[in-house]
Amino acid sequence: MYPKTQHPPVFASMMTSKLLLLVCYVSLLCFVSSSSLSSELSGKSQPSSSKVSLGLYYESLCPYCSSFIVNHLTKLFEDGLISIVDLHLSPWGNSKLRSDNVTVLCQHGAYECFLDTVEACAIDVWPELRDHFPFIYCVESLVIEHKYKKWETCYEKLNLSSKPVADCLSSGHGKELQLQYAAETSALEPPHKYVPWVVVDGQPLYEDYENFISYICKAYKGNKVPSACAKYSSIRSLKVNRFPIVCRKGVNTMWELLERTKTSLLSYFTGLL
């Protein structure tokens, strides 16, 4: 029997394989992007103005955010879908600032504040999607495995230097980034109610966020429609009777306690399979 905080080796191997596959996907995407000169010369380049904006407002230790990043957001790299999307990640979520506008309170504790800052630094020091998204994917995979305190292993897995993020954290720049994401999240209209909070071209998807690809395809007004959109030709209304798979605002509420207990039990039994 495996301990509750661990998954069988087979599961861990599957997660590692999936990470490597993601890196290959993103690297291939960037290779194609770097080879866009011939497309530009032939008049077939994709204007950035025709891309659909996709914003994810999240927090690092919300289990539903982790699940969305690892199991759903990666679909952007299938069938050319990322070519029509401008992806923006905002690691702040339901965190709060005290009245001093400096002290941060995070919904899932101090370590979540730290990991939010780590991911903010990663986005800042590696602004290219091909660099920061695999790193964030790796960290959030460890969250799912309840091994998030081993987040530094992602440097080795992805052959990345730890120095840029370490410098960002030690210099205080990470704190500045936190405050920037706080202001950005606070300025959302309509205001976010929970996380993950997914926004397509300025419109929140609410609890239908897992169906984000349908909304992207509907919002896209360009001529070169990715083949992925054929799979999501129409937006389906949310008509599922289930617990909302979100982390709502507020700390230490009974609702959050029930959600965390339910998620822990589901993760535990999944690990036994």
Residue 154: phi, psi to the nearest 5?
A: -65, -25
Band (pLDDT 50/70/90 cuts) for residue 196 is: very high
pLDDT tens per residue across span 25-63: 555 454 433 333 233 323 344 556 689 999 999 999 999
Q: Which residues contact 97 (CB under 8 A, 6 or more apart)?
A: 103, 104, 105, 179, 182
pLDDT tens per residue across span 213-254: 999 999 999 998 998 898 876 555 445 555 679 999 874 454
Count of alpha carbons within 13 Å of 87, Cβ hemisphere only? 19
Instruction: Name the nearest CA neighbour of 135 among 148, 123, 147, 117.
Output: 123
Q: Which residues contact 70 (CB under 8 A, 6 or more apart)?
A: 18, 137, 140, 141, 144
According to the model, what pLDDT value does residue 269 have? 65
Sign of CA pseudo-dihedral 77, 135, 206, 64 = positive
Mean pLDDT, the chain, as a whole number?
Answer: 82
CA gap 104, 97 in Å, rounded: 5
Is residue 91 packed enough to be buried (19+ CB in 10 Å), middle (13-18) or exposed (0-12)? buried
pLDDT-above-90 percentage for the chain: 63
pLDDT tens per residue across span 131-163: 999 999 999 999 999 999 999 999 999 999 999
Instruction: Name the nearest CA neighbour of 258 among 269, 268, 247.
Output: 247
Cα distances (Å, whole numbers) of residue 136 to 26, 53, 74, 206, 256: 13, 19, 11, 23, 24
**Angle at CA of residue 257, ends 8 and 115, nearest 5°:** 60
Structure tokens at 46: 């994709």
Structure tokens at 80: 């050319």
Query: What is the biggest distance separating any 2 CA atoms in the chain, rounded to whole angstroms?
Result: 60
According to the model, what pLDDT value does residue 8 have? 44
Q: Which 8-state DSSP code applies to residue 199?
A: E
Which of 2-6, 42-46, 163-167, 262-266 has maximum average pLDDT? 163-167
Cis peptide before 196 (omega within 30 of 0): yes
Model-level pTM?
A: 0.78
pLDDT tens per residue across span 170-181: 999 999 999 999
Q: Which 8-state DSSP code applies to residue 31?
A: H
CA gap 209, 176 in Å, rounded: 29
pLDDT tens per residue across span 98-117: 988 889 999 999 999 999 99
Is residue 70 packed enough to be buried (19+ CB in 10 Å), middle (13-18) or exposed (0-12)? buried
